[in-house]
A and B are shown apart, each in its own frame.
Chain A
Amino acid sequence: MSDAGVAADSAFAALLARLSADGGDAAAYESLRRRLIQFLRLHVPAEADDLADVVLDRLARRLHEGTDVASVPSYAPGIARMVLHEARAKSARRHRAEADPTLVPDDEAPDDASELEHVLAALRACLDAAGTSARRLILAYYGADGAARIATRKRLADECAISLNALRNRALRLRDALEDCVRKRTVS
């Protein structure tokens, strides 16, 4: 392994060690990365994943270099904003991003009907595989909009005897699993 590779590994280990010392576990790193992506998506959705890794790399390096960081989650936004600023300042990169067809809303362009049917078939299979109660919950939780959405969720929370927050987290986990299942089934 190159010196740069060794240094990067050491920095990454330093970040993990610090997250662990703060009471986090292996999932803490992934959780922080996910939140960074959420933050960056608000500004540069097409580059959010890549820039989150840049933020984490810099954060890891600072820790490895001995920078005094009182709280990693509180320190990370500063680095994220700097990375965002740099990304925006690179005009060529910005032009590429603006020209990126992935940033053009495809809402008006109809999805290919067969593609939609393909996703629909995968979704049905994944809902069946999820089991009756999960299927019921996900269709009910995500099946309404407007005022009906709020009323439906209150009723579901009452039925399950849990708080709205707990219900939301349960629904999000099911939705993540469902999307992951559809993703796997539709990858050709």
Chain B
Amino acid sequence: MTEATDDTLRDWLLGKLASADADVLEQRLIEDEDFAARLRGVETDLLDDLARGALAGAERARAAAYFAATPQDRLRLRIARALAAIDAGKTTSPRGRGHVHAGDPGSVRAMRLRRRWSATAIALAGIAAVAVIALRLQPDATAPAAFTITLTDGQQRGASSIEIAVPAGASELRVQAEVDGDAGAHYLLAIDDTFAASGLPVRTAGAYRYVETMAPAAALAAGAHRVRVVAEKGAAGESSWTLTTRNQ
């Protein structure tokens, strides 16, 4: 018998397996303690993905129902959200300079980050892909200068990817992205599936409205990356940029 992969087990939990395939796994589940432990591991990862807002559509609905069945399940989901918030704080909050602290209201927003994919968002993403990158070193009286990447909606159409050279010694980067929302709106900024900061408020600089976060340089290591900014509150839509980074 072919060994079921973790992806197969995940599909099983999400109700996506054919009945005959599920029957075989069900029999094994009750007979085999090691297999049951594997399934518990996959189930916990699914719970964490739900808590991070990393599921969408039918998968999210199925997982939400699955992890809301009993009071114990709902507590597990809250714990997973708290764990995600601590992790988000660890990822996005360099000591003393971070935007998301595990203990402040920002951490609660971090727990609730969502990935929304609407028709409007997809349309906006097409426009937003036309971007101009501005790179600068921002002086800061209290901290070492941070390498800043600024992503704006540009005038040129058809630019599918933007190349940037990141200083080899940088441990973190300041990422700014132009948004449409007014003051009071909040956004999620995500880099691939490795970094996300939520609850980012809109800032203004003249006519330029943007959100900003500090990201570990590892999140933009040499290679291709997709940066997305998704409206969370007080605005709608999504923008995205495709970047190719290299070490300077």
Which residues on A are within 8 Å of B, measured CB to CB? Answer: 31-32, 34-36, 38-39, 41-42, 45-46, 48-49, 71, 73-74, 76-77, 80-81, 102-107, 110-111, 113, 115-117, 119-120, 123-124, 127, 139, 142-149, 165, 168-169, 171-172, 175, 178-179, 182-183, 186
Cβ-defined contact, B64 with A39, below 8 A: no
Q: Is B40 an interface residue (CB 8 A)?
A: yes
Across the two chains, which residue of chain A brings its CB closest to B195?
A148
Which residues on B are within 8 Å of A, measured CB to CB? Answer: 12-13, 22, 26-27, 29-34, 36-41, 43-45, 48-50, 52, 54, 60-61, 64-66, 68-76, 78-79, 81-83, 85-87, 90-91, 102-103, 105, 107-108, 111-112, 192-194
Cβ-defined contact, B82 with A119, below 8 A: yes
Could you write out 18 A-B pairs with CB less than 8 Å apart? Answer: A31-B36, A39-B26, A77-B27, A103-B65, A103-B69, A106-B68, A107-B50, A111-B81, A116-B85, A120-B86, A120-B102, A120-B107, A123-B83, A124-B86, A139-B90, A172-B44, A182-B75, A183-B75
Cβ-defined contact, A38 with B193, below 8 A: no
The 3 closest A-B pairs by CB, nearest first: A45-B69, A105-B64, A146-B193
A142 partner, pick from B40, B44, B61, beta carbons under 8 A: B44
Mostly, the B contact residues are helix
Cβ-defined contact, A41 with B69, below 8 A: yes
Cβ-defined contact, B48 with A145, below 8 A: yes
Contacts A102-B68, A116-B82, A120-B102; A186 near B75 (Cβ below 8 A): yes
B26 partner, pick from A42, A46, A143, A144, beta carbons under 8 A: A42
- By a CB distance below 8 angstroms, the chain B residues around A127 are 86
Cβ-defined contact, A168 with B75, below 8 A: no
5 new A-B contacts at CB < 8 Å, known A49-B70, A146-B194: A34-B36, A38-B36, A42-B12, A124-B86, A142-B48
Cβ-defined contact, A120 with B85, below 8 A: yes
- By a CB distance below 8 angstroms, the chain A residues around B52 are 145
A49, B54: Cα distance in complex, Å: 28
Across the two chains, which residue of chain A brings its CB closest to B27?
A77
**Nearest CB of A to B32, in Å:** 8
Cβ-defined contact, A182 with B79, below 8 A: yes
Cβ-defined contact, A102 with B70, below 8 A: yes
A103, B26: Cα distance in complex, Å: 22
A143, B107: Cα distance in complex, Å: 15
**Nearest CB of A to B23, in Å:** 9
- By a CB distance below 8 angstroms, the chain A residues around B61 are 105
Cβ-defined contact, A31 with B70, below 8 A: no
- By a CB distance below 8 angstroms, the chain A residues around B30 are 32, 35-36, 39, 73, 76-77, 80
B66 partner, pick from A45, A144, A183, beta carbons under 8 A: A45
Across the two chains, which residue of chain A brings its CB closest to B87?
A143
A21, B179: Cα distance in complex, Å: 68
A145 partner, pick from B54, B85, B102, beta carbons under 8 A: B54
- By a CB distance below 8 angstroms, the chain A residues around B50 are 107
A117, B85: Cα distance in complex, Å: 10
A77, B195: Cα distance in complex, Å: 42
- By a CB distance below 8 angstroms, the chain B residues around A139 are 83, 86-87, 90
Cβ-defined contact, A103 with B68, below 8 A: yes
Cβ-defined contact, B79 with A172, below 8 A: no
Contacts A102-B71, A105-B68, A179-B79; A144 near B111 (Cβ below 8 A): no
**Nearest CB of A to B74, in Å:** 7
